[in-house]
Amino acid sequence: MAIPIAVQLYSVRDDSAQDFFGTIAKVAAMGYEGVEFAGYHGKSAADLKKCLDDNGLKVAGTHAPFNTLQDDVLNETIEFHQALGCANLVVPWLPGETRDTLDACKQTADQLNVIAEKLKPHGMRTGFHAHAGDMKPLDNGKSAWDLLGEYTVPEFLMQYDTANGMAGGADPVQPILDWPNRGRLVHLKEWSGEHGAKVIGEGIVPWQRVFEACESVAGTEWYIVEHESYEGMSPMEAIERCLRNLREMGK
């Protein structure tokens, strides 16, 4: 069965800020099957769910800042995402001090495991999105990506980002292979030596190897397109071209 393709809505953040529902409708018209959220522009979960349903889209997940998963607001976060129909709450970024040493990674992993356990009865999962700095070796030779994977529970999502990984000096594919069945949501982003400067299929990411790793080892449930900068094209044009190139690659 083909893995569905979603778009990370951060890719079209300016369009979304001006007309969120209209942007979602345009994404659906392009042929995307789902979205990953990165903020909600003040919209209610019920209104967003209606917009998604009206446009035949599913929720691949959301980028949920670490502070929104803390005890004082966790119930509110759970309720919002239950109403939205979103089960995957991925932490998009962690401050350096929470992941720049072995001990920091262990302590952060402990906190993430507690969150994962609290989400489990609600049918929800949490995870972590990789950035370039997470691939750099620490004092013990392992990266924050390695350590957070090692010290979190098996259901914790390891969300690799192809461009971020390569920008951090990682092998394009090995960080996916290292965590079998934990790459449920993988960010597809092109790399050409400049961050996000090319659309998918027009840079140096070895896409067929990425697809093979996702489909044979990672247990990938969603491919998520992300594009962060634009060369002579609008954000909407860029994500449409990304999707077209993926379709031409058989996805």
Q: For all residues of the chain together, what is the average pLDDT?
A: 96
Contact, 199 vs 241, CB < 8 A? yes
The CA-atom distances, in angstroms, between 223 and each of 95, 177, 186 are 26, 16, 5
pLDDT top residue among 217 and 139:
217
Q: Is the pLDDT of residue 134 over 90?
A: yes
Give pLDDT, residue 139: 84
In the predicted model, what is the mean pLDDT of residues 42-51?
98
In the predicted model, what is the mean pLDDT of residues 65-78?
98
Give pLDDT, residue 196: 54
Give pLDDT, residue 195: 63
Q: How many CB atoms lie within 10 A of CB 140?
A: 11
pTM: 0.97
Q: Regarding the domain with residue range 5-248, which homologous superfamily does it belong to in the CATH classification?
A: Divalent-metal-dependent TIM barrel enzymes (3.20.20.150)
Give pLDDT, residue 55: 98
Q: Is the pLDDT of residue 24 over 80?
A: yes
pLDDT per position as a tens digit, 137-187 = 998 899 999 999 999 999 999 999 999 999 999 998 999 999 999 999 999
Q: Minimal CA–CA distance to 183: which of 241, 153, 151, 222?
A: 222
Q: Is the pLDDT of residue 87 over 90?
A: yes
pLDDT band at 78 (very low <50, low <70, confident <90, very high): very high
Backbone angles phi, psi at 222, to 5 degrees: -140, 135
The CA-atom distances, in angstroms, between 214 and each of 39, 192, 218 are 26, 21, 5
The CA-atom distances, in angstroms, between 207 and each of 35, 134, 152, 197, 204 are 21, 21, 28, 16, 8
Give pLDDT, residue 143: 97
Contact, 214 vs 186, CB < 8 A? yes
Distance CA 128, CA 48 (A): 24
pLDDT band at 228 (very low <50, low <70, confident <90, very high): confident
Give pLDDT, residue 197: 72
